[in-house]
Structure 1
């Protein structure tokens, strides 16, 4: 999700000094992700036991009906051809997440570029009006954010279903464009999701590196009222951030979040209109060559899927 996009106007660009951090006793404080030396990354506010590993090989998420396509790194990918529809909700018979509902929101849609008039339509986000959706960003070599988010969503779905969760996608390239940002929020709300994660990659300037998790701010305006979800969403975001660092080795953003990997926003419709715990994650900057090399690697995307999924598992198990 480029900061040039209407759904994501930039906060002030800051380059803080990196600070040594440690996650001690299962707690993730706001300053705990400054720098990227992690003692333990599976805790959250309120603590709890460490999440079980949700790892799976990249091959586990490939469609058995057709060969997997090749990602830009030249490695087999679990991406665009592994589509069973956004309403695929199969779960395993048992697992620690049995009875839990997770909604994965792959940012943008590969078809948005062919439907600019439709996605430019204004929708109500509570605090104002914004475009229905955007095309998203891409690497300098043309690997689209919309392809990246779908690939990551497929990998996460497999990992979370293996833990017994019911998993729904807001879109699976099974519609011409969208959904709009208000509908994305509504899908999670109507599913009564226990956790929703919106997947993105940034389109910032060269030299801006690292991931950040976007948390909902307290908003009460129009159709938006986030007061009930601010606390649990922060816990979800902290656990995802800690596990993302631990599994991928990626550092928190060096240009937003003051080195914490956490950013609070009150201007995103997907968060403002949510009534269930929800966060966004910008997994890296597609316009920086070093981050782009990670984002286009199938092996790294598997680590990213595992890190995010383990954060969700940790949150849902308490």
Structure 2
């Protein structure tokens, strides 16, 4: 059994609402024997560095380009093509956290934008491992793998960025891209930058926020279902344990301070796949084999959510 859901966390920064604790723990345990369907903000990174090499690393494709690569321009707002399969006509927006160029544009990404409840920095550089593998490199690699898996099932997949712009987009624009696409699901891919000994993944869910231009009333429920599905299938695919420092051992964390969630009008979650600052987690996060498992876990969660 990959983990004990009853093991107490080392530290919980944000308690999850009580009603979901047992439900998500049960879902994660159930996924160990088989699930239905197909199989705090990060600290600033240390700057760009060479990517971890992998023979099976997917080839990047400009955002908005359909699988055949011959129909539409590289426009992040353009609707991608769809294939055939169980997810045909479903629209999934993948939001690779940060941008490899952010560290060269600190003035721009430090500019404040409206996230509904208050103003916050456009974006951050993201974190990195102690060896210099950046979060932005990690999120793009996992996102490319995730796109391939979803498109094989017929989904229309769109990126918020694919290292095809100097920096960003800002968190408010990331939300608008998903909204404009009328996405059935949006997943923002990240890795955390916490202290040594803090290990495991967690999925961030939108809190109930209704203030200013932010109103998550309609997406809280479906986003929670999406997040619970991903948490359960991520355990199954990777063998990783839920975070021992966030979410009370459930692998779920509810937040109302993230513009990407506050401004979303479609179901959306973030996933922090592990802690880049812990050597044991970093060894996983820089492994091409583990990244493929991570992508599979996220894809399975999205699929089971979309297929009901």
TM-score by length of 2: 0.83
Structure 1 position 94, deviation (Å) = 1.4
* 1:224-255, Cα deviation, whole Å (9 max, x unpaired): 10000000000000000000001100000000
1:132 to 2:157 alignment: no
The alpha-carbon distance between structure 1 residues 271 and 36, as it changes in their structure 2 partners (threshold 3 A), is closer
Structure 1 position 92, deviation (Å) = 5.3
CA RMSD between the two structures: 2.2
What pairs up with 1:1-318 in 2 under 5 angstroms? Answer: 15=10, 29-32=20-23, 38-40=29-31, 50-53=36-39, 71-72=51-52, 75-78=54-57, 82-90=59-67, 91=81, 93-318=83-308
CA contact (8 A) 2:200 2:242 kept: yes
- Distance in 2 separating the partners of 1:314 and 1:35: 16
- Distance in 1 separating the partners of 2:91 and 2:33: 20
* 1:260-300, Cα deviation, whole Å (9 max, x unpaired): 00000000000000000000000000000000000000000
- Distance in 2 separating the partners of 1:220 and 1:42: 39
Which stretches in structure 1 are left out of the alignment for 5+ residues? 1-13, 18-27, 44-48, 54-69
The alpha-carbon distance between structure 1 residues 42 and 309, as it changes in their structure 2 partners (threshold 3 A), is farther
- Distance in 1 separating the partners of 2:181 and 2:23: 32
- Distance in 2 separating the partners of 1:156 and 1:124: 30
Structure 1 position 88, deviation (Å) = 2.1
Number of residues of Structure 1 aligned to a counterpart in Structure 2: 271
The alpha-carbon distance between structure 1 residues 206 and 33, as it changes in their structure 2 partners (threshold 3 A), is farther
Which stretches in structure 2 are left out of the alignment for 5+ residues? 1-8, 13-18, 40-49, 68-80
CA contact (8 A) 1:239 1:312 kept: yes
- Distance in 2 separating the partners of 1:221 and 1:41: 39
Structure 1 position 34, deviation (Å) = 5.2
The alpha-carbon distance between structure 1 residues 186 and 15, as it changes in their structure 2 partners (threshold 3 A), is same
Structure 1 position 52, deviation (Å) = 1.8
* 1:69-120, Cα deviation, whole Å (9 max, x unpaired): x953x542516xx222111244554100001000000000000000000101
- Distance in 1 separating the partners of 2:27 and 2:55: 29
Structure 1 position 42, deviation (Å) = 9.0
* 1:18-45, Cα deviation, whole Å (9 max, x unpaired): xxxxxxxxxx9533555998342599xx
What secondary structure is seen at the aligned counterpart in 1 of 2:302? helix
